[in-house]
Structure 1
Amino acid sequence: MDLNVEPCDDFFNYACGSFVRKTTIPDDRVSINTFSVIRDRLKEQIHSLVSENVIENEPEPFKFSKNLFRICMNKTQIQKNGIKPLEAVFDHFGGWPVLKEDKWNFDSTWSWVKAVKYCRRLGYSTDYLINFSVGSDLENSSRRTIKIDQASLGTNREYLIKGINHPIVSAYYSYMVDMAVLLGASKERAQQDLLKSLNFEIALAKISISKEKRRNITALHNPMTVEEFQRRYPYTDWVEYFNVILRGTGITIDENEIINVNVPTFMDQLGQLLYNTPKRTLANYVLWRVSGFSSFFLTDSIRKRQLQYSTVISGKQKHEPRWKECVDIVAERLSISVGALYVRKYFHKDSKHAALDMVNNIKSAFVDILKNVKWMDEITRQSALDKVGSMVTHIGYPDELMYDRNIAEYYDGLQLKPDESFLNAILLLNRFKTTKAFKRLRQPVNKTDWISHSRPAVVNAFYSASENSIQFPAGILQGHFFAYDRPKYLNYGAIGYVIGHEITHGFDDKGRQFDKNGNLYDWWQPSTKRAYLQKARCIIEQYGNYTEPNVRLRVNGVSTQGENIADNGGIKEAYYAYRKWAEWNEPEPQLPGLDLTPEQMFWLSAAQTWCSVYRPETMSKRITTGVHSPGRFRVIGPMSNMVEFARDFNCPTGTPMNPVRKCEVW
């Protein structure tokens, strides 16, 4: 806290001013915030688990986690392998043209479809040109469907559409060239060839739609049969293409399969772009993306060049300690195995019950809000009440993680040898994970399936629109956010704010497009929808007028509206739930040394959730490409909109934290 700041003038600096002033960001970090402090603790806990010796009779999945950690930590072997693992990959594709120069002569036989086939077979993404995934059918969440979307790009669309003269695009191009040179290309040839590939990627970005347009989920729902898709986009045999990607799943589709095309305008223009682009340029682009992904798992010299590029985008000056990087990789690639190890040793069962009580109380507060919203008609109100009543809660971890047989069954068929090269180990896990994901196309949908909720070792929380569910993994139920045995005003302010935030996501600008069953369905009466959009417009304009002082960039009110609506609703629900809890229980003691009431402590705890310091480069990227407002405005915005905050701190009308005009959706 900075007690020299008047809370009614700037509550963020009152709550976090000393943290911001005194925190120095280490060279290997891009930010320090409440989340990162807990993630550091979590990394140490996971490190203690995966660095243990392999026990002969322990379940295979736990051996996988320990073996992957050892493979990652064995820098001597990684240096010894050099670039051979990647060269072997290039051979499958017929070589990277920029390295082979004029000896690359596959113009007659190379095709982008074959390249996708090799990517799938080897364990690379199949989304460099067209995004292919399996997910819930938007209109019928009880079934899954194939989804076709615009390409996943190598750097952010927001930068690429500005062209090569944009500093980040220019740095990206230099990175492409230098990587090719490190792998054996001549600089002159790399500059020529990869400029053409970059221009192709810029063209991909320009035919993609913006993140703002993607907020309209209805516009992303365009179901059609593969036969119709073939008629509209006849630039390859799509039945064959999809079956190549589905290879290994036991699933074969035909022209009658119904798929969803998220962005038809992208597909309209992609065919001509592919036709007009020389095969050499396409091959160079695909192999650049393969190289860019692989660079994280290769030698020091390649990783050093990758870091230089990262420094431009994020300001990060050096890599994290190797053990931290390896813990992250193991926790991400083997999340169910690591999650099972983590909750068995570190998660307190009492936390699960206490957090569930809070969720129920905060849901109840939201129900009270819905019942009293004056701008809703009764038909829409009942649908909203049905939706929050149907919302499923996942706390901590699923009980299935406590049983070895479940973990072993999930990883059945995976073989990870301790002498595998690092890159090959990663590709092996990618193939396993991708095949698992695509196999779900024909599997019955179980929205409470334990596998979907088995990433407990993360410091985050989630709302799923297709499940109409909220999830609070074990990793976030600690530290600043939560402890089962401390004053409730601290818990309701911190994790309570987060719980309310996730509940409200079901009713933000995207979540409100789904009904209680997780289906895309317009359950809003026209007059109520108009009132909602007007109230959302107030939030868009409020946040769109905030400028982050350190980088002097204005917040994007449109792309951040979902998170801002969730913040404003979430803190209100948490506050109302705490007040109700306080009415039914003995008064809680004040914290020693602070002359603050329980209500004031609630606001302080909520604000300190967002205490954060970012490097300018990272903050710029977050504002340009992200969907969250900077921490400062996640405090100032919601609290200045609440009359209860102004009352608890006696803020006169017209002060910054008690403006005359307030925004309110829920």
Structure 2
Amino acid sequence: MSGQRGMYHLVANHDSDDGSDGDSDELALLGAGRRRRKRICMCIVCIVVLVVLLALGAAGYFAYDHFHKSKSCTVPGVCNSKILDYIDSSIDPCDDFYKYSCGKWLSANSLGDRDAWGRSYKLATDNYQHLDKYLSKRISENDPDAIRKSKYIYSACKNVTFIQNNFVKHVKDFIRKANGWDAIGIYPDDGWDINDDLVNDHYLGSSAFFSFGITPDDLDSTKAVIKVKQGGLTLDSPQKYYDRDGTDFQDLLNTIKQVLAAVDSTDSSDYSLLAKDIATYERHLAMESLTDAELRNVSEIYNPMTLEELSSLFNLDWVNYFNTIFSTAGVAFDFTSDTNVIVETPDYFRNINKYAYDVMYANFSINYARWHLLLSEFSYSTLPLNSGWDVVRKMKFPNTKLDEITKCAQMTEHIMPLAVARPFVKDFINDEIIDTVNETANQILEAFIERLMDKDWLDEETKDRCVDKVDSITRLIAYPDFIMMDDKLNQFYKGLIIDRSTNYFDIGVAVKKFQYHQAFTAYKQPIDKTQWPSAPTEVNAFYSPQSNLFVFEAGILRPPFIASDWPPFLLYGAFGTVIGHELSHGFDDQGQQYDEDGNRIQWWTDESVDNFEERTQCFVDQYSQYELQGYKIDGKLTLGENIADNGGVHTAYHAYKNVMNGIKHRSKKIGGHTLDQLFFVAFAQLWCTEYSDNTLKSLTQTDPHSPGPIRVLGSLVNNKEFATAFNCPKNSRMNPTNKCELW
């Protein structure tokens, strides 16, 4: 959620000794008394400052007090946030705080035919509308080359008539050039061979049998390694294959039939048997795969071995595979049998070897591999019946209807994330919001350390190492600065060969070549831990344990998450909890295993590790008891996010109280609610969300995040300050006796 210091809005040292240039007046005031600054004491300056502080404090007090007494809203930050509009006061906050905080929002917002809808979904949709506005503008002679390319891509995607009229021909030509598939009448079929043809299929985008990526080495995060992973499933989770008669498996069968029939549109063949063969073959692979929850065990999925050793598990000629796929991408590297890779799931490769190589499975493996090659084209293609992208997506979210704007904006963002971010950040990001994020983060980090030092279950040695890790965290905020420079942005996308004449299907070919070359070039190169890792326009924030880095994208730096004019209860209740959440990931069940340099070693004492694991089990047990719309929460799968949610609220509240201690004149209530109460409401309202039944079923099987209502309820039942703020009776639903607490 790389480059060099100064290239990005980046702060690697989080002490405030530098004075933090550009702090807003409000935040400088609110942080007074908490920030360690060198002061030049001149009487005249002190007097002026005192007068200003008293004036600002009084202004804030009277504004809050007037709001409390008036029927109309007069505090801009509070009014614009609509925090009071969504509260349903008919609900007892000590019984269901989610419905109390979100009740009126839920009443005013219909799910309709969407898979899910919430305040963050609304923001994402709004962001894509803005991308559409930028990308739809006529190409100007002043546009940098990279911006022109992004507009070419978007325009080609919006040409629905061309895509629909040419899709079937394109897919058939694509499969024909890749050795054909006689089962659906695409010739010539010269016979598919796994050793000869799988590497080409993978280069073209297939994920049959497995996938691989280039990532920092867990044990030495300065080095890049190849990680080979289980894969090759159409559905997004192995668990969805367990029940042959279940809706997930039946949806898979129907989708395969529907897609094959659409591709072979001139034939009236019934593809039921072929679909069953492919789905059954995938089920064999799924039964050998680790579940999503099991893959969270980072020590179990780190298995170094040579390519020769990997060949003893899965009989592929791995040396030829990697040499071929790298050279095809234009990257020269001499792989040998002694080359080391990391294998996530050795047992998976050992157990699926028979399905890939035994003669009795030969026809099944060919049809399975051809299906995944066909499937790879749907990311860039539109089927006549709707779109190939959507028909597969409908298998998971059957109520979803992607409009062309959203689909094409997403696609262009995926291909050229830094180019599409440029006009977006010009409109929405300024120094004031960057300063607000940095100042809030400073307060959050300080609060986390203060809370850390009070943990009696951590010994002093472990506490000191934890403080070192917090002090070493790097921040990437909003976007990399170089995207505003024409020459550097153009250079970044120089290898993406696209012009006005490139059609939609050829764009897919160009993109694969460009992305593979970028990714493979990083192999064996030193890791640049400050390289911008994602799309700045996404509504997202995240933490990387291997880089000890957290990222706050430009797309999330807007209401309902943050605004520079918000008072402390709103700022810290909303974005403060987001920062605290990401910081807590550095110390969740995975992050705790990585030291300040991003290396996975045991850097805690045995006693502290034992105490940590005992406390994390409390969260597993707690969340495993929750269910929503009849679907149970997986406490193991969601453990890391649940730890982060809880830690985020605790830490942000602590930081908020630190800030409020620096304000002498303040109102006690706004609109009948105390400021402490509104802090928790601000947190809860981030997660006002509705889900379709099928979407929630899928999310509870695959998503490491708990659904919105559970994120609110699960965090706050563990929070004593929440219970105090709302005066919740002991053993009420929101104030149980037994509470889980870590950070």
TM-score by length of 2: 0.84
- 1:168-179 to structure 2, matched below 5 A, reads 168-179=248-259
1:563 alignment counterpart: 641
Q: Which moved more, 1:582-591 or 1:150-159?
A: 582-591
Q: Compute the displacement of 1:428 (Å).
A: 1.9
Q: Does 1:357 align with 2:439?
A: yes
C-alpha contact 1:315 1:616 (8 A) present in aligned 2: no
| 1:370 equivalent among 435, 452, 466 | 452
Distance 1:259 1:424, change over 3 A: same
Q: Does 1:193 align with 2:274?
A: yes
1:495 alignment counterpart: 575
- 1:251-330 to structure 2, matched below 5 A, reads 251-276=333-358, 278-295=361-378, 297-303=380-386, 307=390, 310-316=393-399, 319-330=401-412
Distance 1:6 1:281, change over 3 A: same
C-alpha contact 1:481 1:494 (8 A) present in aligned 2: yes
Distance 1:296 1:249, change over 3 A: closer
C-alpha contact 1:15 1:608 (8 A) present in aligned 2: yes
C-alpha contact 1:463 1:503 (8 A) present in aligned 2: yes
**Structure possessing the higher relative contact order (Cα contacts under 8 Å, 6 or more residues apart):** 2
Deviations 1:58-97 (A, max 9, x none): 2211011100110011112213323122112101222123
Any unmatched runs of 5+ in structure 1?
A: none
Q: Does 1:452 align with 2:533?
A: yes
2:553 alignment counterpart: 473
Q: Compute the displacement of 1:198 (Å).
A: 1.5
1:335 alignment counterpart: 417
Q: Compute the displacement of 1:297 (Å).
A: 4.0
Distance 1:280 1:482, change over 3 A: same
1:30 alignment counterpart: 115
CA distance in 2: counterparts of 1:203 and 1:589, whole angstroms: 64
Deviations 1:470-511 (A, max 9, x none): 111111011111001121211111111111000000111111
Distance 1:221 1:295, change over 3 A: closer
1:573 alignment counterpart: 651
| 1:15 equivalent among 80, 101, 107 | 101
Q: Compute the displacement of 1:223 (Å).
A: 1.1
Distance 1:115 1:190, change over 3 A: farther
Q: Compute the displacement of 1:427 (Å).
A: 3.2
Distance 1:515 1:296, change over 3 A: closer
Q: Does 1:53 align with 2:138?
A: yes
Equivalent AA in structure 1 for residue 151 of structure 2: K
1:2 alignment counterpart: 88
1:63 alignment counterpart: 148
| 1:222 equivalent among 281, 303, 313 | 303
- The structure whose residues are more often helix, as a share, is 1
Equivalent AA in structure 2 for residue 88 of structure 1: D
Q: Does 1:387 align with 2:464?
A: no
Q: Compute the displacement of 1:437 (Å).
A: 1.0
CA distance in 2: counterparts of 1:480 and 1:60, whole angstroms: 34
CA distance in 1: counterparts of 2:257 and 2:684, whole angstroms: 45
| 2:735 equivalent among 642, 658, 662 | 658
Query: Which SS does the other structure have where 1:624 is aligned?
Result: helix
CA distance in 1: counterparts of 2:391 and 2:162, whole angstroms: 24
Q: Compute the displacement of 1:316 (Å).
A: 1.5
Distance 1:590 1:48, change over 3 A: farther
C-alpha contact 2:260 2:271 (8 A) present in aligned 1: yes
Distance 1:405 1:307, change over 3 A: closer
Equivalent AA in structure 1 for residue 723 of structure 2: A
CA distance in 2: counterparts of 1:310 and 1:316, whole angstroms: 10
Deviations 1:185-213 (A, max 9, x none): 75656222232222111111111111221
Equivalent AA in structure 1 for residue 366 of structure 2: A
Equivalent AA in structure 2 for residue 345 of structure 1: D
C-alpha contact 1:493 1:575 (8 A) present in aligned 2: yes
Q: Does 1:237 align with 2:317?
A: yes
Query: Which SS does the other structure have where 2:588 is aligned?
Result: coil
C-alpha contact 2:238 2:287 (8 A) present in aligned 1: no
C-alpha contact 1:130 1:148 (8 A) present in aligned 2: yes
C-alpha contact 1:85 1:424 (8 A) present in aligned 2: no
CA distance in 2: counterparts of 1:266 and 1:508, whole angstroms: 27
C-alpha contact 1:640 1:662 (8 A) present in aligned 2: yes
1:537 alignment counterpart: 617
Q: Compute the displacement of 1:602 (Å).
A: 0.6
1:144 alignment counterpart: 224
Query: Which SS does the other structure have where 1:395 is aligned?
Result: strand
Q: Which moved more, 1:498-507 or 1:624-633?
A: 624-633
Q: Does 1:437 align with 2:519?
A: yes
CA RMSD of aligned residues (A): 2.0
C-alpha contact 2:619 2:639 (8 A) present in aligned 1: yes
2:127 alignment counterpart: 42
CA distance in 2: counterparts of 1:169 and 1:159, whole angstroms: 10
2:681 alignment counterpart: 604
Deviations 1:165-222 (A, max 9, x none): 1211111111111211222275656222232222111111111111221111111111
Percent identity, please. Answer: 28
Deviations 1:416-456 (A, max 9, x none): 1323332321232122112211210022211112x436x21
1:426 alignment counterpart: 508
CA distance in 2: counterparts of 1:384 and 1:136, whole angstroms: 22
Distance 1:571 1:152, change over 3 A: farther
Q: How many aligned residue pairs are there?
A: 653
C-alpha contact 2:168 2:264 (8 A) present in aligned 1: no
Equivalent AA in structure 1 for residue 351 of structure 2: Q
Distance 1:429 1:587, change over 3 A: farther
| 1:106 equivalent among 178, 190, 194 | 190
Equivalent AA in structure 1 for residue 685 of structure 2: Q
C-alpha contact 2:313 2:346 (8 A) present in aligned 1: no
Any unmatched runs of 5+ in structure 2?
A: 1-86
Query: Which SS does the other structure have where 1:337 is aligned?
Result: helix
Equivalent AA in structure 1 for residue 168 of structure 2: I
C-alpha contact 2:227 2:343 (8 A) present in aligned 1: yes
Distance 1:356 1:305, change over 3 A: closer
C-alpha contact 2:262 2:383 (8 A) present in aligned 1: no
Query: Which SS does the other structure have where 2:139 is aligned?
Result: coil
Deviations 1:39-62 (A, max 9, x none): 122112211111111123422110
Q: Compute the displacement of 1:143 (Å).
A: 0.3
CA distance in 2: counterparts of 1:279 and 1:244, whole angstroms: 24
CA distance in 2: counterparts of 1:104 and 1:164, whole angstroms: 34
Q: Compute the displacement of 1:281 (Å).
A: 2.3
Q: Compute the displacement of 1:119 (Å).
A: 2.6
Distance 1:234 1:546, change over 3 A: closer
C-alpha contact 1:25 1:613 (8 A) present in aligned 2: yes
C-alpha contact 1:194 1:284 (8 A) present in aligned 2: no
